[in-house]
Structure 1
Amino acid sequence: MDTRQGACGVQRDAVALWTTGPGTAQLRTERLDAPADGDVLVRTLWSGVSRGTETLVARGAVPPSEHERMRAPFQAGDFPFPVKYGYLSVGVVESGPSLGQPVFALHPHQSRFVVPADAVAPVPAAVPPRRAVLAGAAETAVNVLWDARPQLGDRIAIVGAGMIGCAIALLARRIPGVEVTLIDVDAAKAALAAALGVGFAAASDPRPDPDVVIEASGHGSGLQVALRLAPTDGEVVVAGWYGADAVPLALGADFHSRRLTIRASQVGAVAASRRARRTTRDRLAFALRLLEDPAFDLLLGGTSPFTRLPDVVAELAAGTADPLCHTIDWSAA
């Protein structure tokens, strides 16, 4: 890593991932200026791949109407390409306030970065840095449950046993008296559900008779399953995002007679039920504390060194990427 003294202080080079076309990416070297007053310089330890959103980015499938709304906080470039994207980074403060503190940041995949001190959140001592990349998943799960508002003793069905669906299941199982069932097309996910302490049902024959239904698959077929499961006068809370894909639904049959509702949940804003009393920073700090539960390690998939990031982008675009949270090791950077 090159370190040089410049007019404004120490300058460092950083390695960053840029997605340059469908399934293609490059590691580029970028110059970092020394942090100004109120900034922190963070050396990345781990970053995480958010398969759902980053697959859409890798394919260039972010809808034009969402190019601005879907920008990551420290994204560079524009959709579709070239773009520096990502939002699950954990590192250690090398300069600025809280020197030596492990922190989480919504920053793209990059070996070092400079951001305002209030853009990082301290990682609790009981949370290992690699697990801390799941802060985004835990925060999304918190928001979804605030939107879904489950109650004591409810039966909760979650369609889609990916990273987000499993994070929702992990938190929902803590509510006294609830029964949580993960539903997925992949029967092999039954073992993961059992390890998480929740039930499992195949998407081809789901029978949980739920009070609360959450769709987290990111596929239109998953939303159709969720609608079949919803109780009369009930709703489906949609946590999955479909990008630019059209989602055909069969809304004939009993959709109207059962008076069903489809409602979106999105992590960009705090759920309406808590928005007046919680900030996004409050929500993130809460999510990081929840990660003290070692069961979250079950949501971590494989690990690659940062040099393999272009291959990971290719796998995302091809649909062969790790179904859970693939982590990137920056220790050799």
Structure 2
Amino acid sequence: MSAPDEVGETSYDCPKNWADAFWVTHPAQGELRREQLTTPASDEVYVRTLYSGISRGTESLVFNGRVPESEFSRMRAPFQSGEFPAPVKYGYCSVGRVEQGPSALLDKTVFCLFPHQDRYIVPASAVLEVPANVPAKRAVLAANMETAINGVWDAEPMLGERICVIGAGVVGALVAYLCAQVPGVTVQLVDINSERRLLAEKLGVAFATPEQASLDQDCVIHASGQSAGLRQALELVGSEGRIIEMSWFGEGDVAIPLGGAFHSQRLTLKASQVGQLPSKLRPRWDYQRRLRLALSLLVDERLDALISGESEFAQLPTLAPRLFGRGSVELCHRLRYPV
């Protein structure tokens, strides 16, 4: 059984059958709302949250009301409540302790794709035990690692390739970290923020600002969420190379120059999205197996560098505008829940 980390000394001020959850109430506004919980069924678990992680890229779009109407259905989180644009309860990086449920899970530390909420009841099949050698604090990165795994599968890095990852956010950094473990692969992590160099060093990958980035790459993986990053991907990839687009831009059009090298050099632009497993893996893989892999890969303590801050869950309504604002340089912000 994996032992939970210490999370604080504050006691809950509401009965066990009630929960506090963070809701986006209007674009760029949120609040904690109290809701009543039902009695768990025999095949359900009652989870008390220890930590949750903020996946800033997607959650920023949700918090700021920038989810396109065409994507309302596809962008639903597994246990989302409410509807886009608001009010909506959204999130998918929760780590907690099972206090009621099947004996095999009782008192275990588990990960669940659940929004920011201090207690919740879900089917037992919706949680996965956190491995004993992965701290609960780090397990909040599981959903981001899962996205990175899918991106690497879509990129299909091969022995000895030159690979560039544009965007040193959590997902981009994890993609670079994973690709660097393929024998002979040369990886460069690119970001406009030169302070991300320290993060890259901690993860064991090379770093460059856009003007320093190497040309003639076999594969460029774009994860910056900015159209300028995608334009640079077209400049960096070599003849007949491939570009993997992992960003989700939300509302608005993205202009890229397809009249230059894109056709003459026979470049490939491919989308990667965590909601779908690569087609050739589907006969053998499912989402639970992928998530188990993600949790197992979080054993590396170097990944703690991706946690850029921590605060009490109760502070989230006040902190959210800064965390999700345009000028934010947060990586994964971790929320701590009282016990």
TM-score (norm 2): 0.93
The residue aligned with 2:60 is: 55
The residue aligned with 2:3 is: none
Aligned 1:154-303 pairs, distance under 5 A: 154-303=161-310
The residue aligned with 1:8 is: none
CA deviations 1:141-190 (Å, max 9, x no partner) are 11111110001111110000000001111111111111110011111111
Alpha-carbon distance in 1 for matches of 2:128, 2:151:
21
> Identity over the aligned pairs, expressed in percent?
48
1:170 maps to amino acid: Y
CA deviations 1:275-316 (Å, max 9, x no partner) are 221001000001100001111111111001011111232124
The residue aligned with 2:41 is: 36
Alpha-carbon distance in 2 for matches of 1:153, 1:112:
47
TM-score (norm 1): 0.95
Report the Cα offset of residue 196 of structure 1: 1.1
Instruction: Give the secondary-structure state (helix, strand or coil) at the position aligned to 2:240.
Output: coil
Q: Is the 8 A contact 2:222 2:244 kept in 1?
A: yes
* Match for residue 332 of structure 2 among 307, 325, 333: 325
Alpha-carbon distance in 1 for matches of 2:110, 2:157:
31
Q: Is the 8 A contact 1:54 1:316 kept in 2?
A: no
The residue aligned with 1:312 is: 319
2:149 maps to amino acid: V
Report the Cα offset of residue 99 of structure 1: 0.5
Cα RMSD of the aligned pairs, angstroms, is 1.3
Q: Is the 8 A contact 1:26 1:310 kept in 2?
A: yes
* Match for residue 140 of structure 2 among 133, 138, 145: 133
Report the Cα offset of residue 192 of structure 1: 1.3
Alpha-carbon distance in 2 for matches of 1:41, 1:322:
34
Alpha-carbon distance in 1 for matches of 2:178, 2:83:
35
CA deviations 1:123-157 (Å, max 9, x no partner) are 00000001000001111111111110001111110
Q: Is the 8 A contact 1:89 1:104 kept in 2?
A: yes
Q: Is the 8 A contact 1:163 1:323 kept in 2?
A: no
1:203 maps to amino acid: P
Report the Cα offset of residue 331 of structure 1: 2.1
The gaps in structure 1 that reach 5 residues or longer are 5-10
Alpha-carbon distance in 2 for matches of 1:103, 1:190:
33
Question: Kindly tell me: are residues 45 and 208 of structure 1, through their superposed partners in 2, closer, same or farther at Cα, counting changes over 3 Å?
Answer: farther
The gaps in structure 2 that reach 5 residues or longer are 1-11
The residue aligned with 1:7 is: none
